[in-house]
Structure 1
Amino acid sequence: PGAPVLTASMECGTTVALGGSIHIKRRVVYEAPPGSPAITLHSFWMSGSTMLYHRRGGKWREVPFDGCCWGIWDDPDVEVNVSQHECFTSLEAGEAWTREYNMDPTDVGEIPRGVAVGDVFRYRYLGTEMDWWDWGGKKEHAETTVKLPSFISGRVVDPWDNNGRPKLVIPASDAVEFTIV
């Protein structure tokens, strides 16, 4: 068969107090009929890839992200078991990977000076192409290992080609919108 189908969605409240934070819920659902085989995937890439937009005076603009840097080491690659490592997830048909977090808009970018009551923001998951996935759940992958770079938070380096399986793309979600009150 081809690649499994995944969909992404985001939820949040419609307002946030000036200087406050907003609760975000992000879901990636494995869309398959009951009885379809489980999948296991490198879920690290589902947690990033977002963009915040700001509207004032009728104009939208991207809010650039400037809040993080990566520590990268040039050590040997690390072998991990995909059924046990926190950066991998197994999903049954219809099941969702969910991440919930509180977002302070200043945590994801440089909020324009003078944010005011009435300003509107949009937040969107941009989607991603998974670097590693396979049919089967944790039980089927009890002995499956892959190699990650020494700093762990990178793409699978072995097998670099996902053993020839088709590309698995998670499409972008619809944007959620909230207003500063």
Structure 2
Amino acid sequence: MSTIQESSSSEQDDFLDLLSIDTFSEPTTPTQEASDSPTTAELNPETPILSVQLSAPPTTPLNTPFAVTIKITYTGHLLNPDGTTTPATRPITFRSWPVLAWHQTDPSREGFRLYRHRPNNGSSDDAWELCEVDDGSICCFAIYDDPDKEVPVAKGNHLTTDFTSLHPGETWTTTETLQGETWSLLPDDAVPGDRFRFYFKGAYVDWWDWGDLEEHKRAGTTVLLPCWGGARTIMRETDKKMPTLVVPGAEEGVEFVVLDKNSAEGSAGEG
């Protein structure tokens, strides 16, 4: 479920203070070094500045619904060529998929990451392993040879065809579910005591424009997608050329620990 709400001026000012920060903290693992993420240094002039914050409960039992809350804020500022900012007055609309998809065009630099640390694995405290995650977008069956499809810029009924509008100062709040009662994105061998860190590395938005959804609906704005949907938009000669909208990685990830279900129920009962 997604919601839009107005953010406070103090939250916007806090993000502007981060423009001197090159990246957020992601652990180096023994199997894969952390690659560069999209940073505030890559923001293109005359594009709106967005910020991302993650939050989640600190613990979860296995086989229990668990989700990370993601807040994407349009800070209400534009980046100038000299690195300063200018207050923004116009709303923006962007395709949601590049921000929320796990499997990106440039997976070393975009999307989400899930790491695990096991306290009894004999390694040092800072040793984290990268978890392979399949959110269902890597499917066993898909049609790839149908014609490309034209999709209206509107609120869609699927992530691949959904668009979000934000006015200056507004925040889009959505969730990324990592676990349900009968399924989980955590590793199959996860056990109580495992500690996880979940990060958002950033994203390059494949389609965005000025104006809200109503404006684009009246204008009949469309994008061209491959037939399977879960991919970047296809640029047409008639499409407006916009500078790439960069969503920097979240400054901080979230950390949570898997609990024994009986222990978790006991703690809840005591509360």
Aligned counterparts of 1:28 and 1:100: Cα–Cα separation in 2: 11
Tell me: CA distance 1:102–1:131, structure 2 relative to 1, closer, same or farther (3 Å). closer
Residue of structure 1 aligned with 2:56, choices 6, 9, 12: 12
Aligned counterparts of 2:237 and 2:173: Cα–Cα separation in 1: 26
- Residue 124 (structure 1) shift: 1.2
Tell me: CA distance 1:74–1:160, structure 2 relative to 1, closer, same or farther (3 Å). farther
- When structure 1 is superposed on structure 2, of 154-163 and 6-15 the one drifting more is 154-163
Runs of 4+ in 1 over 4 A off after TM superposition: none
Residue of structure 2 aligned with 1:53, choices 107, 115, 119: 115
The residue that corresponds to 1:79 in the other structure is: 150
Preserved contact between residue 132 and residue 162 of structure 1 (Cα < 8 Å): no
Tell me: CA distance 1:140–1:66, structure 2 relative to 1, closer, same or farther (3 Å). closer
Which stretches in structure 1 are left out of the alignment for 5+ residues? none
Preserved contact between residue 32 and residue 93 of structure 1 (Cα < 8 Å): yes
Secondary structure of 1:45's aligned partner: helix
Q: What is the TM-score when the length of structure 2 is the normalising length?
A: 0.59
Aligned length: 179
- Residue 100 (structure 1) shift: 2.2
Give deviations 1:111-140, integer Å, cap 9, x for gaps: 4x3x44332111112211001111111232
The residue that corresponds to 1:63 in the other structure is: 131
Residue of structure 1 aligned with 2:195, choices 120, 125, 130: 120
* RMSD after superposition: 2.5
Give deviations 1:124-157, integer Å, cap 9, x for gaps: 1221100111111123212211211111222111
The residue that corresponds to 1:89 in the other structure is: 164
The residue that corresponds to 1:177 in the other structure is: 255
More strand by share: 1
Give deviations 1:82-121, integer Å, cap 9, x for gaps: 135452111111222222254229732534x3x4433211
The percent identity for this pair of structures is 32
- 2:258 is matched by which residue type in structure 1? I
**1:84-163 equivalences in 2 (<5 Å):** 84-85=155-156, 86-104=161-179, 107-111=184-188, 113=189, 115-142=190-217, 143-159=220-236, 163=240
Tell me: CA distance 1:29–1:72, structure 2 relative to 1, closer, same or farther (3 Å). farther
- 2:226 is matched by which residue type in structure 1? P
Aligned counterparts of 1:141 and 1:117: Cα–Cα separation in 2: 49
Tell me: CA distance 1:50–1:161, structure 2 relative to 1, closer, same or farther (3 Å). farther
- Residue 180 (structure 1) shift: 1.8
The residue that corresponds to 1:23 in the other structure is: 67
The residue that corresponds to 1:38 in the other structure is: 91
- 1:53 is matched by which residue type in structure 2? Y
Preserved contact between residue 76 and residue 169 of structure 2 (Cα < 8 Å): yes
Preserved contact between residue 91 and residue 97 of structure 1 (Cα < 8 Å): yes
- 1:65 is matched by which residue type in structure 2? V
